């Protein structure tokens, strides 16, 4: 077939058709934003302590004294224990004897677990997944697992979506993903158990990936080359960020997790009319041999843009019979030489690190000092200028220096937070927002950087493998936040050190800015310590030609 971009160039760059596609697909990314980080509020952990049952007949003074005080790892005044109480029979005996709490030497009184459940503070959250199924104390491991289950769905969706989109079309997968997302979100509202919730939440992650990935691909294939870059690096990311900003606003207004899910599920209904305004990818239709359908879409686009299409848009060209067919690439080719292997291994370490840093800061906003809703909103808000800056960097700056500087800054900010006195709350929050800004820029740049490093014959396979590693990082990220239960400082110390280490390692990657995209393996930039493979001449004629071109010896 003729080159698609050349065949459709008559449509122009920014007509009514392109505007419609661009804006509608950016709007379609909004639910993906508030869904990806919804566990910040769905599984918020309210303050809690052991429940003292009413049948214990204790006065308020004795009831308050029945919970021991403990010092937190972050310092500050002692607080009521989350997971233990003084033995209730002993407390009742003291009360029956007419003693006052001040008369008791509490250090000699035995403690017990929360045998009657927990009492949760409802000043911030009326109800969450944590308070619904008591995901605290001995069961607190279930909270990060719930988030990881969502990202397991994301990983599974990434495996399946590409194959289904190549077979059934991009547009269909956008709306199939939307349907899976909406139905599973709706079923979550009626979850009778934590196990059922996890099963449905897995499907939410799967549907979210279906919708986001297909939206990304559909926009990239429908738009012109220059507009495609703006959509991929800025447009769809801004849609995601707007959805992320909506999450704390909705959570602030709706404090019950089931009702919050209703608010997150209903907007999907608004996207149903998009089916009649977003076309299928003509590029995909052409690749499937559906020339008539592709031309019909292009002619409709030409009518919207008030341009006259040519009589024949896609004309078949004779295949180059001299170029032998190439077998499909496989992942083994990513480690086929020292040069390719060095680049691949570095990127396989870099992608999950960037993902862990991004999600570590994002998921931890509910645990920061101050207002949890405001902190989450600020975390989402800083992504807007970060995406604009990443677009500027990608156009004019060194990839290697940008990735190193932004990821190193994110790690350093997270480490410096540990040196801030506990009373300087807003300084610590400011540093966390700066870390979020920096890692968001790094996140945006790494994607395009990976595309530029690999040759055409391996680019899709390489990008897919790196994306898988990044999603594995997203599955692991909640457990970094879980380490707060052992030490408040531990998550950011580990994430910060990891970010700085991989920022330094990223300096080993070759520079790709301003260089043509490689088509073959031997055109790739060199990894330090690796030389490009030298190919031996295989015929006498080639040797003679080479000798003729060689400069004379001095």
368-382, 411-425, 508-522, range with the lowest pLDDT: 508-522
Mean of the per-residue pLDDT values of the chain: 82
DSSP state of 13: S
Residue 73 has a pLDDT of 60
Look up the pTM and report it.
0.83
Phi, psi of 409 (to 5 degrees): -60, -45
H helix intervals, 255-382: 257-265, 282-287, 291-304, 338-363, 372-381
Where in the chain are the domains? 1-40+140-310, 48-71+80-120, 327-529
Rounded to 5 degrees, φ, ψ at 361 are -70, -40
Rounded to whole angstroms, how far apart are CA atoms 507 and 382?
A: 26
Instruction: Report whether pLDDT(400) > 50.
Output: yes
Measure the N-to-C terminal CA separation of the chain; round to a whole number of Å: 52
Structure tokens at 402: 């940008």
pLDDT of residue 359: 92
Joined tokens for residue 285: 């239709």
pLDDT per position as a tens digit, 480-519: 988 888 888 899 999 999 999 999 998 888 887 777 656 5
The second-level CATH assignment, the architecture, of 327-529 is Up-down Bundle (1.20)
Backbone angles phi, psi at 48, to 5 degrees: -150, 160
Question: For 1-40+140-310, which CATH class?
Answer: mainly alpha
Which comes out higher in pLDDT, residue 286 or 130? 130
The torsion of the CA quartet 443, 448, 449, 450, rounded to 10 degrees, works out to 100
Burial of 103 (0-12, 13-18, 19+ CB in 10 A): exposed
519-551: buried (b, 16+ CB within 10 Å) or exposed (e) per residue? eebeebeebeebeeeeeeeeeeeeeeeeeeeee
How far is 212 from 29, CA to CA, in rounded Å?
6
3-state percent breakdown (helix, strand, coil) of the chain, nearest 5: 65, 5, 30
- pLDDT > 50? residue 544: no
Contact 478, 495 (CB under 8 A): no
Query: Mean pLDDT throughout 123-130?
Result: 90
| CB-based contact 363:37 (threshold 8 Å) | yes
Please check whether residue 194 is in contact with residue 133, taking contact to mean a CB–CB distance below 8 angstroms: yes
- Give the distance, in angstroms, between the CA of residue 224 and the centroid of all CA atoms in the same chain: 26
Q: Is the pLDDT of residue 47 over 80?
A: yes
Using CA atoms, how far apart are residues 297 and 279, in angstroms rounded to an integer?
7
pLDDT 10s digits, 255-272: 999 999 999 888 888 888
- Which pLDDT belongs to residue 104? 81
For residue 490, count other CB atoms closer than 10 A to its CB. Answer: 17
How high is the pLDDT of residue 436?
94
- DSSP string of 500-542? HHHHHHHTTSPP-TTSPPP-SGGGSPPPTT--PPPPPP-SHHH
């Amino acid at each position: 077939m003729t080159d698609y971009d050349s065949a459709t160039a008559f449509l122009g760059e920014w007509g009514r058709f392109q505007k419609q596609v661009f804006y509608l697909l950016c709007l379609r990314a909004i639910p993906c934003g508030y869904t990806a980080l919804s566990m910040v509020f769905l599984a918020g952990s309210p303050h809690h302590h052991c429940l003292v049952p009413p049948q214990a007949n204790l006065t308020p003074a004795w009831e308050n004294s029945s919970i021991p005080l403990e010092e937190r790892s972050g310092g500050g005044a002692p607080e009521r224990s989350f997971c233990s109480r003084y033995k209730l029979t002993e407390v009742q005996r003291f009360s029956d004897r007419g003693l006052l709490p001040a008369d008791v030497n509490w250090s000699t009184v035995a403690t017990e677990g929360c045998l009657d459940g927990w009492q949760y503070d409802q000043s911030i959250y009326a109800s969450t997944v944590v308070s619904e199924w008591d995901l605290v104390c001995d069961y607190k491991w279930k909270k990060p697992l719930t988030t990881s289950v969502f990202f397991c769905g994301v990983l599974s969706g990434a495996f399946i979506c590409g194959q289904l989109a190549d077979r059934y079309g991009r547009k269909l997968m956008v709306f199939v993903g939307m349907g899976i997302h909406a139905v599973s979100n709706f079923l979550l509202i009626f979850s009778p158990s934590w196990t059922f919730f996890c099963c449905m939440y897995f499907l939410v992650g799967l549907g979210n990936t279906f919708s986001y990935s297909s939206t990304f691909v559909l926009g990239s294939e429908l738009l012109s080359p220059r507009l495609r870059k703006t959509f991929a690096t800025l447009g769809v990311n801004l849609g995601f960020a707007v959805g992320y900003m909506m999450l704390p606003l909705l959570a602030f207004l709706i404090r019950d997790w089931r009702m919050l899910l209703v608010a997150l599920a209903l907007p999907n209904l608004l996207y149903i009319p998009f089916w009649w305004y977003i076309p299928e990818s003509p590029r995909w239709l052409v690749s499937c041999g559906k020339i008539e359908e592709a031309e019909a879409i292009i002619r409709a686009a030409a009518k919207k843009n008030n341009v006259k299409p040519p009589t024949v848009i896609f004309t078949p060209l004779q295949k180059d019979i001299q170029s032998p067919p190439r077998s499909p690439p496989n992942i083994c080719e990513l480690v086929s030489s020292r040069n390719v292997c060095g680049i691949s291994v570095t990127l396989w370490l870099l992608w999950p690190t960037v993902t862990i840093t991004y999600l570590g800061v994002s998921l931890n906003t509910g645990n920061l000092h101050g207002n949890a809703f405001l902190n989450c909103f600020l975390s989402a808000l800083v992504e807007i200028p970060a995406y604009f800056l990443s677009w500027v960097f990608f156009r004019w700056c060194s990839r290697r220096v940008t990735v190193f500087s932004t990821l190193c800054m994110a790690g350093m900010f997270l480490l410096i937070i540990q040196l801030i006195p506990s009373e300087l709350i807003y300084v610590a929050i400011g540093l966390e927002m700066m870390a979020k800004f920096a890692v968001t820029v790094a996140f945006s740049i790494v994607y395009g950087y990976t595309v530029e490093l690999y040759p055409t014959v391996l680019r899709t396979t390489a990008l897919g493998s790196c994306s898988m590693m990044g999603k594995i990082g997203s599955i692991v990220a909640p457990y970094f936040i879980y380490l707060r239960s052992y030490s408040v400082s531990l998550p950011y110390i580990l994430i910060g050190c990891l970010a700085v280490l991989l920022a330094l390692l990223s300096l080993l990657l070759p520079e790709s800015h301003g260089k043509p995209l490689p088509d073959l393996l031997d055109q790739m930039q060199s990894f330090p310590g690796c030389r490009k493979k030298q190919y031996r001449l295989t015929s006498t004629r080639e040797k003679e030609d080479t000798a003729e071109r060689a400069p004379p010896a001095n």
